[in-house]
């Protein structure tokens, strides 16, 4: 088990905040830069996990240049892990889609994301 510095909570909180900001801006490179080189991504949970920066960058490429409204609803940091619930509002053409997933992440000693698992299902998506 990795021993983390006493300011781990602040560092992880900063990474989560940067992640949500980058997702809201559709900034693929900024999102991928928050992951450790051998990080993993499972979004949604139950889908095929992606591993490594190239696969993670490819996944988030779908967001490139797409602006979304994101609101952090709650964040809990414990040790080298965080769970957070947030709302995403995405305009697509004349529709607006909303979803409020719960992400669970683990982090290394540099507060880089080593794993991310997103808990949501298609039935959680609201269209208006």
**Residues taking part in catalysis:** 19, 43
Q: What is the dihedral of CA 18, 52, 101, 104, to 10 degrees?
A: -80
Of 124, 87, 86, 123, which is closest to residue 105 (Cα–Cα)? Answer: 86
């Amino acid at each position: 088990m990795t021993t983390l510095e006493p300011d781990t909570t602040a560092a992880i909180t900063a990474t989560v905040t940067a992640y949500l900001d980058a997702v809201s801006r559709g900034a693929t490179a900024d999102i991928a830069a928050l992951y450790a080189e051998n990080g993993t991504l499972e979004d949604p949970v139950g889908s095929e996990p992606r591993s490594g920066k190239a696969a993670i960058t490819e996944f988030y490429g779908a967001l490139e240049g797409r602006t979304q409204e994101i609101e952090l609803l709650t964040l809990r940091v414990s040790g080298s892990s965080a769970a957070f619930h947030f709302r995403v509002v995405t305009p697509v053409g004349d529709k607006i889609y909303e979803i409020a997933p719960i992400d669970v992440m683990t982090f290394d000693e540099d507060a880089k994301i080593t794993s991310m698992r997103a808990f949501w299902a298609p039935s959680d998506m609201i269209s208006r």
